[in-house]
Structure 1
């Protein structure tokens, strides 16, 4: 297909097929014609155009699958609703559904904090708690039904447990948390887990509830969905999900009257499979994975078209051909649509809704290829812009870092990607965006590449599975990228970036594992913290004195570039190396922050000098040398970087020389210790605190002007004392 260079809608060269067709298309302007499988306002569409796939038939006709796994947008929630409706029509079946809010999961997580270091303990504790809670919910239903309540009333042991369960107000998980709170506060986690089953009387409760179900001859279906709410991919989060899966599988095996089904998103399931050493033995055989092929997706699309346009044709292909024109007709025409998707219902419905909307605006009752391409590009651009908005605050360089891949190839080697990101640095330098520039200087191209992986923008080729894997749990790769690693930009951004390839070929969608979480609020700061920690740690490896002179100067240069990103541009070491007065490090003050505007206004320093000294004791020679540099564009303010323990001036030494040079030559020299620069680096661990450095520097300059320069001379005193007004 041709590249799409703009977002202009296709022209209205086609006329309406019929007046009725036009009315149908105009109606689409008011709402999505095909609906969205998860939206509340599309329940009618879901009811009338649900596709009873083989997966659906398997779940209702057999009891040997307990865990349903699907990628984002593959119809898990639709399946949950339809299974619920199917079993509710059977008067001998009771349906209990469970779909927690994120606040419930978060509250439950708080109970498990003592197990944060052990997945095994977390899984063991939650497995017992889930079993008990599910049994209590089942028993509560039996006790609440007038036909079976007498069965419970005769059992004082079970009645006691039910009264305690009912005594706690709140949701299913809230009750579970409040009961468990009594038994999981032991100092020994292992002991608490070991005693939990006995404290809950779990074996006796289970035996009595199963007997009750046999006597009542009622089948209980328990549907559990939305378990990704409040989920975090750590030992507790994965342990909670694993515990639920184990509890559901065990109850399913123990009684023909209990049919639990757990719905899991693919990223959570993969994390569970990776973390649980017993996964293949206990869980793998209980899983059904949702899968859509082109024929099922055609049934889905045409079923919704029938409802939307009140069509009464039987054959799906005829319905499709009635609603499309030109190259979109026929089986191959439908497959053209799938090239822009990952064979997921949600992708397809979004694409077709936008395409039919475009056709209606052009007064056409049928969609054509140009509508499809416009829709695909529009959606791709929207997703790219959403990515920027989502992460701008915590990943300030994301827009520039992603835009550097425009007009290129979607598949490339890591070394080529690093070169592209390297060229983006120049654009960041010019942009004057302090936060983005600081990000780029902290992370370097390799760190930015890892960050792009962590937000799901690009994936890495997995040689073991011969597929591309996109970040699915908010983590960065276990290792850095090697030059020859193959990477792929996520297909949903291809059109938005105008890449050389704009759609997936048939079969390629199955090679994409794209189940990733938008969870980068912690990931990117972790990368920043790691990089900043590496810079700070490097200082301790540099020996003071002549031996480490060169290394210290390089460290100062790198640190200054990060700390004063965008506020000082073109920071260089020895920019006038051949001159008589060779200055160590110089940066251009572009007055982009309050502190640096103040420096230029008060001291006329356009070119700012930093003199790096890899030792502690400064004497008059060091101060006078720096003062000699402060002429012309270098203004009347300079910085001397030392290995002192802090930035405060010493009475009788530093203080007198700073005051003498200021009073005699009108020049101000500010001492910056390497430790003080490390403190500034620490302030940058969060990109949201990019102005913290400016505040620190303003406070330091205030101390010099208000305190140090107004103090009386301390020369002649035998004892040297630090003068240390506080810099917060």
Structure 2
């Protein structure tokens, strides 16, 4: 390989996903966000980010650098699907009993036991007894703490089993209490106590009169509320003062992958909200930092209403949104390029040596590529890799290489946008396709015609997104006297907020995108002032979008 050049179609600057990125550790870029997560004094612990922003890479790096002080909890390993599918849970849901106290207690229990197992290497009955003996001697002069220790004694020889088994055990005990109360209160099924399926089940609650429902709801709610467990909360004090009692024992707990299919979507909101509340309570433990990584769209859809006890402001104060600037992404690419090139025999490679020289006609090649990303590491890494793939043995990438790579890159980014949002908005790619062949900037009239076509999609029996499209276009049908922003505003806001479109305002027709103007589409006055629209440059090639009436390229 010649100095500064790129040789071979297999050259890349790393994988797009952390779990498949061979350069993650060698070329890791230490951003301000990473320093925030690592800080033992910064209380911000909820990492909010779009997919591809690097949150998983950040957490993997944290584990790599603090191998003996990180506990990772995987939501899919907690048997939460088992819990929520129990008939007793459906029964309580029918009665509108809040299960939040139970879910909060489960999260606290899982985290408490995982921390103890990690701190004392509790992996057998003997190890558990040694731990209890040591701790009992340490707290023998404190009656309250001795009582709290009884909570752990209840688990006997099951203390070191996997987290999902412990969660099931707590749930089964809760289930027995509900069944016992149900038999004593309403005699749903005579005979001996048994499983929920032999006593109560989903749909039974619907048969009760209003007064009976209210009485049952109150009784069962009291049982649920008891699962906050005074001894469990006292154990948190023991955790703070006697287990993680020094800076040497500082521990991070990492909870990621909350966006995966680990539980029924219907109750995922409640479980995540309860996790946030549990983490708030754990903030009192000085040598502990629980880090929860969550996708932006899931965070924004969390119901921080009355059930959160007015704690939404606290949740948001402990959150930080991962955002990348142009200089940071340039540094990230430069670092990866140096490491990857060194492996191929060119240790002095740099962005300037690889990309076309800046000229007055085409400008800066890196800026051109960056403008066709959503300002995320995954995007810029993918664009460079596509460009390397078409440049082959060329010493320096050419503008023609970049343009040729853009078609494939743009198509894959459009698919990635679909995959990011398809759970919330099925068949959203059908909406994207409505902008195929558009001339940008689009006038309001042209944009409106395309949005009206979107509103007609529910009439297609093959379209799976009828429910959400009907919701976002409802004002078009039920409010004939409404203004443009009333009719089209909800759908415009959606397409803007996911990064698909930009809005143009003012005499200079400045394009505004969600990254730099995140609240823009939330105000009716801003939408009314919008004079034109554009498809984000990332997706223009994939949709054959034309610039100023001319075909791309």
TM-score bin (small chain): 0.5 to 0.7
**How far apart are the structure 2 equivalents of 1:235 and 1:400?**
25
Larger radius of gyration: 1
Aligned equivalent of 2:252: 221
**How far apart are the structure 2 equivalents of 1:272 and 1:46?**
31
TM-score norm. by structure 1 comes to 0.52
Asked whether the 8 Å contact 2:273–2:303 carries over to 1, the reply is: no
Structure 1 pair 366–500 and aligned structure 2 pair: CA distance change class (3 A): same
Pair 1:284-2:316 in alignment: yes
Pair 1:54-2:35 in alignment: no
**How far apart are the structure 2 equivalents of 1:357 and 1:490?**
24
1:192-591 → structure 2 map (5 Å cutoff): 192-198=223-229, 201-213=231-243, 218-230=249-261, 236-252=267-283, 254-272=284-302, 275=305, 278-310=310-342, 311-313=346-348, 319-327=350-358, 332-360=364-392, 363-384=393-414, 402-409=432-439, 412=442, 416-420=446-450, 435=462, 489=535, 491-501=537-547
Give the superposition deviation at 1:71. Answer: 1.4
**How far apart are the structure 1 equivalents of 2:499 and 2:237?**
51
Higher relative contact order, structure no. (Cα contacts within 8 Å, ≥ 6 residues apart): 2
TM-score norm. by structure 2 comes to 0.66
Structure 1 pair 120–130 and aligned structure 2 pair: CA distance change class (3 A): farther
1:288 match: secondary structure? strand
Aligned equivalent of 1:69: 48
1:307 match: secondary structure? helix
Give the superposition deviation at 1:377. Answer: 2.0
Q: Give CA-to-partner distance per residue, 1:339-369, whole Å, 9 cap, x none.
A: 0001100011111100111111xx3132222
Q: Give CA-to-partner distance per residue, 1:502-549, whole Å, 9 cap, x none.
A: 9xxxxxxxxxxxxxxxxxxxxxxxxxxxxxxxxxxxxxxxxxxxxxxx
Structure 1 pair 210–332 and aligned structure 2 pair: CA distance change class (3 A): same
Structure 1 vs Structure 2 CA RMSD: 4.9
**How far apart are the structure 1 equivalents of 2:242 and 2:357?**
63
Give the superposition deviation at 1:398. Answer: 7.3
1:263 match: secondary structure? strand
**How far apart are the structure 1 equivalents of 2:163 and 2:54?**
25
1:46 match: secondary structure? coil
Structure 1 pair 204–292 and aligned structure 2 pair: CA distance change class (3 A): same
Structure 1 pair 140–422 and aligned structure 2 pair: CA distance change class (3 A): closer
Q: Give CA-to-partner distance per residue, 1:202-254, whole Å, 9 cap, x none.
A: 233223333331567622221111111227897732221121122123212x2
Question: What runs of 5+ residues in structure 1 fail to find an aligned partner?
Answer: 1-17, 471-476, 503-728
Structure 1 pair 182–501 and aligned structure 2 pair: CA distance change class (3 A): farther
Aligned equivalent of 1:83: 62
Asked whether the 8 Å contact 1:461–1:468 carries over to 2, the reply is: yes
Asked whether the 8 Å contact 1:232–1:238 carries over to 2, the reply is: no
**How far apart are the structure 2 equivalents of 1:47 and 1:328?**
35
**How far apart are the structure 2 equivalents of 1:395 and 1:265?**
15
Of 140, 143, 149, 2:117 maps to 140
Structure 1 pair 74–404 and aligned structure 2 pair: CA distance change class (3 A): closer
Pair 1:101-2:79 in alignment: no
Give the superposition deviation at 1:257. Answer: 2.0
Aligned equivalent of 1:558: none
**How far apart are the structure 2 equivalents of 1:225 and 1:373?**
36
Count of equivalent residues = 452
Asked whether the 8 Å contact 1:413–1:483 carries over to 2, the reply is: no
**How far apart are the structure 2 equivalents of 1:94 and 1:249?**
20
Q: Give CA-to-partner distance per residue, 1:274-315, whole Å, 9 cap, x none.
A: 6457244321221122121111111111111111110444xx
**How far apart are the structure 2 equivalents of 1:38 and 1:375?**
20
Structure 1 pair 21–261 and aligned structure 2 pair: CA distance change class (3 A): same
2:72 match: secondary structure? strand
**How far apart are the structure 2 equivalents of 1:203 and 1:426?**
54
**How far apart are the structure 2 equivalents of 1:462 and 1:108?**
49
Give the superposition deviation at 1:420. Answer: 3.8
